[in-house]
Every structure is written in C-alpha cells, then in structure tokens.
Amino acid sequence: MKKIGNAENDPSDINNTTNQVDDEIAMQFVSKKENDKEVEIKLIKDVTSILREINCHLIKASKFIDWNYR
C-alpha cells in the first residue's frame, strides 16, 4: 500500500513514532437541529401508543400490551 503525506518516505512497516497502541480517539456527534431529541421522543411515544393495542388473530379480540412489564 502506498503511503501518502508526511509518511510518503517511511519504510513499508509500521512507524512507531506516529502509530501508538495507546492512541485515544474521541468522537462527538453534533446535530444541526436543536429539537431532534424532542422529535425522536414524540415519534417513540406515537409509535408506542399505536402498538399498545394489537389485534390478536387467535381470539379475534384486541389485547392490551403492557410494554413496561418486565
């Protein structure tokens, strides 16, 4: 594999001065919209309320599902 940039003249093996096992990479995901979390919570509540009643095909009746039951 061809090396690019400042490592272009480095030998083909790993360069220990630039690659270290203990390197830490921090990533932060930033959203452009401030209300994304609010929209997501509203969608989850809407879907949950729709799914609370499921038509049971075995007994042909509506059954209440308690999603919080554990």
Task: Give residue for tokens 């790993």.
Answer: 14
pLDDT at 66 over 60: no
pLDDT at 49 over 60: yes
The arithmetic mean of pLDDT across residues 39-64, rounded, is: 71
Q: What is the pLDDT of residues 4-25, one digit of tens each?
A: 787 788 877 777 777 666 667 7
Interatomic CA distance for residues 70 and 65, integer angstroms: 12
The arithmetic mean of pLDDT across residues 42-60, rounded, is: 72
Confidence of residue 37 (pLDDT cuts 50, 70, 90): confident
**pTM, two decimal places:** 0.31
Interatomic CA distance for residues 53 and 2, integer angstroms: 59
